[in-house]
Amino acid sequence: MNTENTRYLRNMSGYGPTPPKAEWPGGAKIAVQFVINYEEGGENCILHGDAASEAFLSEIVGAAPWPGQRHWNMESIYEYGARAGFWRLHRLFTSMGIPATVYGVASALARSPEQVAAMQAADWEIASHGLKWIEYKDATAESEKADMLEAIRLHEEVTGAKPKGWYTGRCSANTVALAAELGIFDYISDIYDDDLPYWIEAGERDQLLIPYTLDCNDMRFATAQGFNSGDQYFAYLKDTFDCLYEEGAAGTAKMMNIGLHCRLVGRPGRVMALKRFMDYAQSKGDVWFARRIDIARHWQAVHPAVRFERPSRMGAERFVTLYGGVFEHSPWIAERAHALELGAAHDTVIGLHNALCRAFRSATKDEKLSVLKAHPDLAGKLAAAKALTADSTAEQASAGLDILSEEERTQFTALNTAYMDKHGFPFIIAVRDHDKAGILAAFRQRIDNDSETEFATACGQVERIAFHRVGALLGGDDR
């Protein structure tokens, strides 16, 4: 079966309820990372060969592109970022000794040699923010890749080195894959989906992604439902920091991203709120102020990529070979589960178990009954003859059912017979959840239930047995 159209490409699972311990340097409870976006001179402008003027992230409310015309006011606002805002931020960061990463638009960097020299003198990381600060949502993959390659070439020409990080910003669905395909970036940041870095598989290469932010971002001074004052900005940054710092104190340290723009937070009426936040963060202990490349190198060293055979990416034959025995002697359940819309969420114990259970739950009553009847008696003839499946053998042994006294064997035999005569299927219980005494007690209690109740109970126990088996197959990960 071709399952290409039934695979869900988004990852809604992530690290789940148990994120890895970040182990930031010095035992820091939080990593704080500032990005200064340098876009001025790379925005849409007919002087740059674009079809219209810029309309994004400025002081002009409701700005719209002007096709074929220069927008003098828009150009002037962007120029403020290069002429004044950048230097105000440069003084602030260097005076406080806090490092920064610059997302540098290559064409903007080429038009600002003094600012580039200042970035380098401050030992700021200069990552690539693309060739131009334009929209790529409608670009072909070929044209976007061509711009990427030119951005890298120009970046190296202007700064003397290739960028180690990439962030397009106004990206397409192809951006991350295209950047990863180049195989030169320590990290890519065109994602907003986590508080920690994570790895993706890009063909034969493992690519690190470091999520960015649009909420702790001064762009909200220029967007609807954004910040109207420095006090609002400071309060939001402080609350974010406090939440993450508290989580770090509890043992799950995270990363706080803060996105800045020279023409926005570089204004006098906003920069003091940023300074107040920086003072506040510096006043706390156990804070690691880092560039993004520092975070990338730390994650590469402490949390290297780990590959495993992912259920959602298996062909049907391999999937059924591995998981066809999870439901006793019922490979058809794995076949049906494989045909579902599987994705990254199903590469965990809970996710894979859920997919298999969905196939079981949607089966007819007769099909479910066939699964129940496929299970062996507890400590019955098959066990005595050593004819159980490997899973059933291990499960029964875990509760000591392979070592019974004559009295216990007689009790199990009588109960098995009575239960089967009454309900028409074997007594089923997830023995890994019980000891021998608990199993016998449940046996005696459940045998008196009506058969409809027992059918439902047995189906639930089959699913519980499947959970344990999936856990063993995926290495014991309880997710």
Point out the catalytic residue in the list 353, 375, 423, 468: 375
90 is catalytic: no
Q: Check: CB of residue 189 under 8 Å from CB of residue 234.
A: no
One-letter amino acid for residue 132 of the chain: K
5: exposed, middle or buried (C-beta count within 10 Å: 0-12, 13-18, 19+)? Answer: exposed
Give dist(CA 205, CA 122) in Å, integer: 33
Instruction: Copy the structure tokens of residue 449.
Output: 């239930």
CA 358 to chain CA centroid, Å, is 24
Q: Where are the beta strands (DSSP E) in 171-230?
A: 187-188, 198-202, 205-209
Give dist(CA 419, CA 373) in Å, integer: 12
Give dist(CA 463, CA 354) in Å, integer: 9
Please name the residue that has the structure tokens 């949607």: 362
Among candidate residues 293, 304, 257, 297, the one with its CA nearest the CA of residue 162: 293
User: How far is residue 231 from each of residues 85, 213, 241, 435, measured CA to CA in Å?
Assistant: 19, 20, 15, 60
Please name the residue that has the structure tokens 């050593």: 386
Give dist(CA 418, CA 416) in Å, integer: 6
| Total length of the chain | 479
Q: Check: CB of residue 166 under 8 Å from CB of residue 136.
A: no
Q: Where are the beta strands (DSSP E) in 25-140?
A: 30-38, 101-104, 125-128
- Give catalytic residues, as residue numbers: 375
